[in-house]
Amino acid sequence: MTDQVKLSPDSAKDRPAERETFDVVIVGAGFGGLAALHKFRDELGYSVRLIEAASGAGGVWYWNGYPGARCDVESLQYALAFSPELTQEWSWTERFSAQPEILAYVNHVVERFDMARDMRLDTRVTSASYDETSANWIIKTDRGDQYDARYVIMATGPLSTPYMPAWPGLDDFKGEIHHTGLWPHEPVDLSDKRVAIVGTGSSGVQAATAVSQEAEHLFVFQRTPHHIVPATNRPLDGDEQNAVKARYPELYANWTSSPAGMSWRSLPTDDPVVTGDKSALEVGDEERQATFERAWNYGGTTLHRSFNDLLIDERASQYANEFIAGKIATLVKDPETAALLVPTQYYGTKRLILETGYYEIFNQPNVTLVDAKSDPIECLTAKGIRTGSTDYDVDVIIFATGYDALTGSLNRIDIRGRDGMTLADAWRDGPQSHLGIMVSGFPNIFLISGPQSPSALANVIVANEQQVNWVSDAVRYLDDHDIPAMEPETEAQAKWVEEVNARGMASIYTKGANWYWGANINGKSPSFLCFINFADYKAACDEIASTHYSGFVLADAKQSA
């Protein structure tokens, strides 16, 4: 893998503070930020500065280097599309890529498009303030930099502010503490250690599977059993990749017009039977079981699509739960442990998790499943974790406790719009935006993967590029028409918020506690954070662009002069 720090000559920790003016300042060097850098600098010829807190590009793929980290979107669909050459020249080795390979791809993109020269690494944006007189943003960093820019693009990521419950005793623990979302870049030696992993979402399940292979003993603290199905990962052969590359533009068009920003029945190996158009209620037990079985074996998220009502109908959801319970009973030898792993909430309430050997780790003598629901964690001690009934003495605690999703990374920057209004204040009762891209009172600042956009519920790279394209079209429109600023009309924004929440309330996601509506964090204002259905979203964005940005206030040049 390329050494990330060396990629940028400007990442040296002692570089002098800068005071410069750019057309566009981008915050964040994840996929959204890199796509924006390419679009604005290379395609449109704007001057751009990209600022990134980490020592390398990659966003979550930079930070999530925990053992076992892997993507749950198929590699062939999880890649940037802005360059036809890039789509042809890169090859993936597995159906679901591991984090090091994704980071190697990120570094290839940075090098291939000579991005490092316009990036400042090891630099955290602390504030962004709108100056109404000049219609410019003033962006400040923790390195003492000050940048003036007409446009700001916040590509800070939907799941990039790690969340850790504030248990008493955190400072008392004498061993090592890590969070999966802030994994150190130096090696972490877990061999022959007693390790606790708290949390069994996507991160916890992947980490537990890997750590179980090296730890002396692993305690997995599970509060809620999630729905976990096989990834059925495998090597990708050249023919399969070439078949996708040969039809790339057509396939990409399919993905961008599908509800999740990716599509099945479009890869050469797809099994059409597991993308069912039937209700789970309209078939007999035998057919239902056979379809579930086929989806389970095909792997990935195909179980989701085996029937068309698993995420809608209570009985259908129960059938899926019963099928998964049956599988767990055959995979986990100890009946008590198996029973604890069976999800009881509606199928699909929390994000489906893909596993490779997770259930089997509970057959190992060095792994213990701790039921943190009936016996919750009370505190940390000098030696480990204390629940109501037991002290678990460990050397290392790994928190896989998730993220302050969608709003967390934006709220920790002091963003001030018109009249000095802060974004945190504007969002005190939940986020308000139009399209999840712009906020009333905050002209010319654009969010990529913002709250109330579909990014976190879709193939995030496809969603990021769709937003970058929409934003760059809008910026070009402003510049072509000599319009100094745009922002949402308050009424259009209110309607958008209403629509996002209505879709959320009608969905399975609000039937349980999860990050989609902030329910994973005590005190976070409950509000649905994702727009459901990427295809509908793209259509709404296209419609607004085609009507010269109806629903947005476009300032006229004279007014702001």
Residue 152 — left, alpha, or beta (φ > 0 → left; ψ -120 to 50 → alpha)?
Answer: beta
- Residue numbers 313-342 binding ligand N01 by CB under 6 A: none
Binding residue for ligand N01, selected from 53, 54, 198, 435, defined by CB under 6 A: 198
Residue 106 · residue 37 · CB < 8 Å: no
Site string (379-408) toward ligand N01, x via CB under 6 A: ---------------------xxxx-----
Q: Which is nearer to ligand N01, 164 or 283 (CB)?
A: 164
Q: Which is nearer to ligand N01, 69 or 445 (CB)?
A: 69
71 binds ligand N01 (CB under 6 A): yes
Residue appearing with tokens 């078949």: 243
Residues 6+ apart with CB under 8 A from 542: none
30 binds ligand N01 (CB under 6 A): no
The rounded distance, in Å, linking the Cα atoms of 40 and 300 is 35
Q: Which is nearer to ligand N01, 137 or 516 (CB)?
A: 516
CB of 399 to ligand N01, least distance (A): 8
Residue 380 · residue 397 · CB < 8 Å: yes
Residue 194 · residue 394 · CB < 8 Å: yes
106 binds ligand N01 (CB under 6 A): no
- The residue number with the shortest CB distance to ligand N01 is 201
Question: Alpha carbon of 170 to those of 116, 139, 200, 380: distances in Å?
Answer: 38, 34, 20, 6
165 binds ligand N01 (CB under 6 A): yes
Per the document, the length of the chain is: 561
Q: Which is nearer to ligand N01, 204 or 451 (CB)?
A: 204
- Residue numbers 509-538 binding ligand N01 by CB under 6 A: 513, 515, 520
Q: Which is nearer to ligand N01, 300 or 430 (CB)?
A: 300
Binding residue for ligand N01, selected from 75, 160, 200, 241, defined by CB under 6 A: 200
- Residue numbers 214-253 binding ligand N01 by CB under 6 A: 221, 223-224
Residue 449 · residue 157 · CB < 8 Å: yes
Q: What is the DSSP letter of 272?
A: G
Q: Which is nearer to ligand N01, 179 or 288 (CB)?
A: 179
3-state percent helix, strand, coil for the chain, nearest multiple of 5: 35, 20, 45
CB of 167 to ligand N01, least distance (A): 7
Measure CA 173 to chain center: 30
70 binds ligand N01 (CB under 6 A): yes
159 binds ligand N01 (CB under 6 A): yes
- Of 389, 391, 433, give the one whose Cα is nearest residue 410: 433
The C-alpha angle with vertex 227 and arms to 334 and 74, in degrees rounded to 5, equals: 120
CB of 370 to ligand N01, least distance (A): 10
Q: Which is nearer to ligand N01, 159 or 215 (CB)?
A: 159
The C-alpha angle with vertex 44 and arms to 40 and 45, in degrees rounded to 5, equals: 90
- In one-letter notation, the amino acid at residue 561 is A
The rounded distance, in Å, linking the Cα atoms of 236 and 510 is 36
Binding residue for ligand N01, selected from 8, 136, 203, 510, defined by CB under 6 A: 203
Residue 97 · residue 142 · CB < 8 Å: no
CB of 222 to ligand N01, least distance (A): 7
Q: Which is nearer to ligand N01, 343 or 488 (CB)?
A: 343
Site residues (vs ligand N01, CB under 6 A)? 70-72, 159, 165, 180, 198-204, 221, 223-224, 351, 372, 377, 400-403, 513, 515, 520
